[in-house]
Structure 1
Amino acid sequence: MNMIQAINSAMDVMMARDSGVVVMGEDVGYFGGVFRATAGLQAKYGKTRVFDTPITECGIIGVAVGMGAYGLRPVPEIQFADYIYPALDQLVSEAARLRYRSAGDFTAPITVRSPFGGGIFGGQTHSQSPEGIFTHVSGLKTVIPSTPYDAKGLLIASIEDNDPTIFFEPKRIYNGPFHGHYDKPATTWANHPGGEVPEGYYRIELGKAAITRPGNDVTIIAYGTMVHVATTTVEETGIDAEIIDLRTLVPLDIETIEASVKKTGRCVIIHEATRTGGYGAELAALVQERCFYHLEAPIERVTGFDTPYPHSLEWAYFPGPVRIGEALKKVMRN
């Protein structure tokens, strides 16, 4: 399966297992979603469990919070992460706080799916990476897979979780990682070497990172598309880097990060979002607090630039092998 198929399979599995799981959003029903992630689900489970909504993100999430409080497990889709901002009040003021405000009487077991990031020539309003906003909010969990296998297992775990989860899907790798170089568009796709995705039920525990490449000289922390870009860079530079795929940003597997950095003595953090206030800043602070006496070089961040998303220059905006390679060589010189 590619990532789209794996996400579809996860929702199919959970709808079959739990009649309380419902899918909702703009064009998710008959049309099957703008990226076809919900294709076939309405035909299989009916219009009361897979249904289209008006174009009102605030309303979509507000309804989902209410459905969750009454015992359902809604999986609302926000068509693009760029459209999620009208729903912030419902997510921040209602979903994230419901368990605490009700002293545990109510929960918001909702999983908000949304494609995020660039790479499909979507322009300024279809390409943003707003994960840092949600990792700041206590009470929300934030999940970003990098492979089809992880996408299915993490989505199942998110749907089963009793707290609200923001599930960002890197659409640049919806159909597989780019084949070839990562600093320019590719015209062909390649299947991820991780193997097949099981048809049935399995889950990947939230809060557990994966070491996708063991190494001894430097730790690379990444998530989503950037895991593949980092892998390409390491192969090109020949540096013996250990690559950590966070998989879930909140809860964070800080233990895996700490053990790796203490072993390598160096750390490079990569994300596509803008630099200032990005999640990499929090990661850098945590690494400094826990690993200061083991560091052989300053922590490096390779990120998007502090500009509005540049449609015509998006492939210069992305962290690619050139900029990541420079960061790796810089920390290795120390």
Structure 2
Amino acid sequence: MSAADVAGGDAETERLTLVEAVREGLAAELSRDERVMVLGEDVGTNGGVFRATEGLQEAFGPDRVVDTPLAESAIVGSAIGLALSGMRPVAEMQFMGFASPAYDQLVSHAARMRSRSRGQYAAPMVVRMPYGAGIDAPEHHSESREAAYVHEPGLKVVTPSTPADAKGLLAAAIRDPDPVIVLEPKRLYRAFRGDVPAGEHAVPIGEAAVRREGADVSLFTWGASTQPALAVAEELAGERGIDVEVVDLRSLSPLDRGTIADSVRKTGRAVVVHEAPQTAGVGAEVAATIQEEALYYLEVPVERVTGFDAPVPLGSLEDYYLPQAVRIRAGVLDAVEG
């Protein structure tokens, strides 16, 4: 079975949702490299809680798409052992909020393996984590804890906002010689379809994407916040003639500092948008990068539009917590007119 067969798309003209692109990317890498395997809770027989791995066990067998016990520490610990043994494991955490038991394995072992062994060993592995709010899920299902992993030397962290990047970043992560956390914004899993290159497709880790060119203000974001950011940019261009440049960081570690600085040097203003809590979020690192690399180009202080320093609320309050279009618009106007 081909990767296109598993994804259910046309190999020549693929229009996929983000979750379909994840499945397509996994299938392509499983086909390309026999060392690649998938493991996690319900990833095989049930195809994953979001059906991101649906059909993969039938296509590649139970030895390469492995159902595990409900034990996140064991899943990641097993992936570390598999990586050290020459495999390229892709472990799934059902939700980012469930990954806390595996945190020790990631930061104490996977991230340190190259340093600990003075370059003799590495842990080429991927941990996929559906993350973020917006689907009215219960407690521990909606967290955005990317800053905790970005802070850890030895871990790379990427997050797509389009189906093409979902496939391409996942492929690059699987091929990387070190551990990579792939954060998948579950709010976007089935939100829209986009063009996805057929066959093998990799997006380099460490490169941001300028989703919209602009001259008046730079808006930096990633993951699910990219869509409302683009909507606000188009709205303000039509209503007020404000030309917003939207930069999708997509790689949070390593961070594309060059693109960040170049954008601010052009516009002189910056707004950072993310749904994680504000304090010590990745947005603070973006603001620090701007201060270090483009301070004298800034016309006004950097604006941050973020989640609140509180647990993600349940149900109807999620929309208030998230940096929706109305809050992003206010942040941009403060930067331009305030």
* TM-score calculated relative to the size of structure 2: 0.93
Deviations 1:262-321 (A, max 9, x none): 010000000000111111011111111111110001100000011111113000001012
Task: Give the C-alpha shift of residue 124 in structure 1.
Answer: 2.3
**Structure 2 equivalent of residue 329 of structure 1:** 333
Which of 191, 194, 219 in structure 1 is aligned with 2:193? Answer: 191
Per-residue CA distance 1:148-177 (angstroms, 9 max, x = gap): 00110110000000100000000000012x
Which SS does the other structure have where 1:237 is aligned? Answer: helix
Q: Residue 130 of structure 1 aligns to which amino acid in structure 2? A: R
Q: Deviations over 1:14-45 (max 9, x none)?
A: 11111110100000001100100001110011
Q: Secondary structure at the match of 2:136?
A: coil
RMSD: 0.9
Structure 2 contact 232–328 (Cα < 8 Å) conserved:
yes
CA distance in 1, matches of 2:138, 2:308: 15
Q: CA deviation at 1:123?
A: 2.6
Q: Which AA in structure 1 matches 2:278?
A: R
Q: Which residue of 1 aligns with 2:38?
A: 23
1:289 to 289, 292, 301: 292
Alignment of 1:273-312 (within 5 A): 273-312=276-315
- 1:229 counterpart SS class: helix
Aligned match of 1:118? 133
CA distance in 1: counterparts of 2:312 and 2:26, whole angstroms = 31
Partner of 1:67: 82
The amino acid across from 1:296 in the alignment is E
Count of residue pairs brought into register by the alignment: 318
Contact 1:75 1:112 (8 Å CA) reproduced: yes
- Gaps of at least 5 residues in structure 1 are 177-189
State the secondary structure of the residue aligned to 1:169: strand
Equivalent in 152, 169, 186 of residue 184 of structure 2 = 169
Counting only pairs closer than 5 Å after superposition, residues 128-277 of structure 1 correspond to structure 2 as 128-176=143-191, 190-192=192-194, 196-238=195-237, 239-277=242-280
TM-aligned CA deviation for residue 323 of structure 1: 1.1
Q: Please give the secondary structure, in 2, of the residue aligned with 1:11.
A: helix
1:320 aligns with 2:335: no
Residue of structure 2 equivalent to 1:183 = none
Q: Secondary structure at the match of 1:138?
A: coil
**3-state secondary structure, aligned to 2:196:** coil
Alignment partner, residue 182 of structure 1: none
Q: 2:308, 2:28 → 1: CA distance?
A: 39
Runs of 4+ in 1 over 4 A off after TM superposition: none
Q: Is the 8 A contact 2:77 2:105 kept in 1?
A: yes
The answer as to 2:99 corresponding to 1:100 is no
Q: Please give the alpha-carbon distance, in whole angstroms, between the structure 1 residues aligned to 2:265 and 2:159.
A: 25
Letter in 1 for 2:294: C
